[in-house]
Amino acid sequence: MTKRIGLLTSGGDCAGLNAAIRAVVLAANDTYGFEVIGIRNGTEGLLARPIKAETLDPTLFDGAMLRQAGTLLGTVNRGDPTAYPMANGEIRDRTDEFVESYKTLGLDGLIVIGGDGSLTILRRLAQAGGLNLIAIPKTIDNDVAGTDRSIGFHTALTVATEALDRLQPTAASHGRVMVLEVMGRNAGHIALEAGIAGGADVILVPELNYSIDGVAAKIERLRVSGRNFALVVAAEGLRTTAGGAVETEAGRFGGIGHYLAHQIEQVTDMDARVTVLGYTQRGAEPGHHDRVIATAMGVRAVDLFAAGQFDRMAAWIRGAVDDVPLDEVVGRSVGIDPDGALVRSARALGIYMGEAG
Ligand code: F6P
């Protein structure tokens, strides 16, 4: 009997998901003769009746798929099947329905492309139902443990760096402070790496608390040195020195970037302008690095399936594909290291990164 792999994408989308799907389908069919069943809209496809899933035909996976952003399977980042919010307000455990669908489809294993939240939920489902689970890490936030890189991060970095490249000339022309708000609710990897690559003067991340006086002092030092502009990169989840997440006043500030620009205008005599990158970081065409790691990790996931090595995640470690136990991944999301080499590099350049760490 031909072995059947269920494949789904879960959580926020990012660039490179289709490249990973393509790699799984081609490696499964060409190398092993396995069939891949694509499940629609993450876990929702297995909760739906009829089940939303179909065999993925390898002949449809020509080069076009490799280049496309988004996920052809669809995805969700809500509706945990173990605590599902029903339309009537009830919270229901739908694990049995999920497991039943896995069995109805005759699956021998499930490959999930997801971030930390999704992998935690899927592992709980797999353990409850005795399902064979293999994971592939994705998220622009790059905070999945056990891997140096998650699919989507590199492309998001390119988008954020290009934004700084475009903000610098207009900042200098007008003598303004430009605030760039990037994604990262709990992890500042995008802000830190794009900030360094794009020549930011201030980089604010959730892992290092900031004070507006610290930001103002940096801008003043720039002014004294003869510079008429400043570039500020802020992750959406930044925190003040008081330790709290910044609460924005609904209707007054669009988000953290607007809040910060308003603060900067109050404590300096400079004009500040805001660019919120938002979902453009997720919807970009995948760059070469994301295509390469998505392909390598997709193939590794199929190899793990063929070898019967479940409860593991494909990973990208020290420039090569690898795999790690899911036990070392779930519930351990990884932020930037406040004492790490990149933060030290940034500070060595005089970039303001907050008070702590
Ligand atoms: O994928 C992670 C992330 O990009 C976060 O940085 C961001 O806060 C979140 O997704 C927003 O996602 P959504 O609006 O789709 O829930």
pLDDT at residue 159 tops 80: yes
Contact 229, 176 (CB under 8 A): yes
pLDDT at residue 357 tops 60: no
Ligand 1 centre to CA of 12 (Å) is 6
Q: Whose CA is nearest to atom 10 of ligand 1?
A: 12
241 confidence band (pLDDT: 50, 70, 90): low
Using CA atoms, how far residue 352 sits from 86, 197, 267, 303, 355, in Å, is: 46, 15, 16, 45, 8
- Label residues 324-340 b or e (16+ Cβ within 10 Å = b): bebeebbeebbbbeeee
Residues of the chain with pLDDT > 90: what percent? Answer: 90
Q: Can 108 be counted among the known catalytic residues?
A: no
**pLDDT top residue among 88 and 239:** 88
Q: Whose CA is nearest to atom 11 of ligand 1?
A: 12
250 confidence band (pLDDT: 50, 70, 90): very low
Query: What local confidence, expressed as pLDDT, does residue 243 receive?
Result: 57
Pick the catalytic residue: 13, 108, 116, 141? 141
Chain-wide mean pLDDT for the chain?
A: 94
Residues of the chain with pLDDT > 70: what percent? Answer: 95
Mean pLDDT for the stretch of residues 219-228:
96
Index of the ligand 1 atom closest to the CA of residue 140: 1
Query: What local confidence, expressed as pLDDT, does residue 299 receive?
Result: 98
336-348 pLDDT, tens digit each: 999 999 999 999 9
pLDDT at residue 198 tops 90: yes
Query: What local confidence, expressed as pLDDT, does residue 239 receive?
Result: 75
Query: What local confidence, expressed as pLDDT, does residue 242 receive?
Result: 61
Tell me the two tokens of residue 132. Answer: 């064979």
Query: What local confidence, expressed as pLDDT, does residue 248 receive?
Result: 56
Direct distance between the N- and C-terminal alpha carbons of the chain, in angstroms, rounded to an integer: 57
Distance of alpha carbon 85 from alpha carbon 205, whole angstroms: 32
Ligand 1 centre to CA of 200 (Å) is 23
16-40 pLDDT, tens digit each: 999 999 999 999 999 999 999 999 9
Query: What local confidence, expressed as pLDDT, does residue 245 receive?
Result: 60
Index of the ligand 1 atom closest to the CA of residue 152: 1
Ligand 1 centre to CA of 1 (Å) is 40
Query: What local confidence, expressed as pLDDT, does residue 240 receive?
Result: 67
Domain boundaries, the chain: 4-151+286-328, 156-281
Index of the ligand 1 atom closest to the CA of residue 186: 6
pTM (whole model) above 0.85: yes
CATH topology of domain 156-281: Rossmann fold (3.40.50)
Query: What local confidence, expressed as pLDDT, does residue 102 receive?
Result: 98
Q: Running DSSP on this structure, what letter comes out for residue 92?
A: E
Ligand 1 centre to CA of 185 (Å) is 7
78-87 pLDDT, tens digit each: 999 999 999 9
Query: What local confidence, expressed as pLDDT, does residue 251 receive?
Result: 43
| Helix, strand or coil, per DSSP, at residue 177 | strand
pLDDT at residue 325 tops 50: yes
Contact 178, 171 (CB under 8 A): yes
**Residues facing 38 on adjacent strands:** 7, 54
Index of the ligand 1 atom closest to the CA of residue 78: 16
Q: Whose CA is nearest to atom 13 of ligand 1?
A: 12
Let me know if the fold of 4-151+286-328 is the same as that of 156-281: yes
Query: What local confidence, expressed as pLDDT, does residue 293 receive?
Result: 98
Query: What local confidence, expressed as pLDDT, does residue 1 receive?
Result: 86
Query: What local confidence, expressed as pLDDT, does residue 252 receive?
Result: 43
4-151+286-328 classified as CATH 3.40.50.450: yes
